[in-house]
Amino acid sequence: MEKYILLDRDGVINQDSEAFIKSPAEWLPIEQSLEAISLLNQHRFSVVIISNQSGLARGLFDEETLNAIHQKMREETAKVGGKIKAIYFCPHQSSDFCECRKPQAGLLKQFAKDYDIDLKNVYFIGDSLRDIQAAQNAGAIPILVKTGNGTKTLQENPQFLTSLLIFENLYDAAKHLIS
């Protein structure tokens, strides 16, 4: 049976920006994040991205540009021997009140339906409160990384210190998951 790891994108795999990642040139991997994906793949985990991309609804970039950003991410990951199986994204803003925007569980549930799996043994690694909530709302296992917004998320939610797996970065989380 195939094993899956779900990852948020911005702040987990690549550097985040309050001004949004609007072009392939702005997409910059966090140190060792692509190697982490490769490491997970080597241990028979398929990696799936679950990402809010409200920049689409805000008109900051179009779907063609988002696809180009994701193509760069896939190519850079492949250079270190990694592979991203699928990418799920929400194109809406929070004011749209959709079911797919994290912290809602819609994207995770769609992934589970598409691959016919139960999320109860699937880890979702994120850097923000909405990632943790989306994992919990979907019945997946949340992991918080301190990259991106992770340190701030932890400071604002000290209860996570005793209730969540927390790692410095994606690579440390991956090393834990394969051990």
Buried b (16+ CB within 10 A) or exposed e, 106-134: bbbbebbeeeeeebeebbbbbbbbbbbbb
- Separation CA 24–CA 112 (nearest Å): 29
Where do we find the tokens 């899956």?
A: 4
Active site residue 8: yes
In 14-115, DSSP assigns E strands to: 45-52, 84-90
Please, are residues 124 and 131 in contact by the beta-carbon 8 Å criterion?
A: yes
Active site residue 114: no
Is the C-alpha dihedral spanning 73, 54, 109, 105 positive or negative? positive
Give, in degrees to the nearest 5, the angle at Cα 51 between 67 and 30: 85
Provide the annotated active-site residues.
8, 10
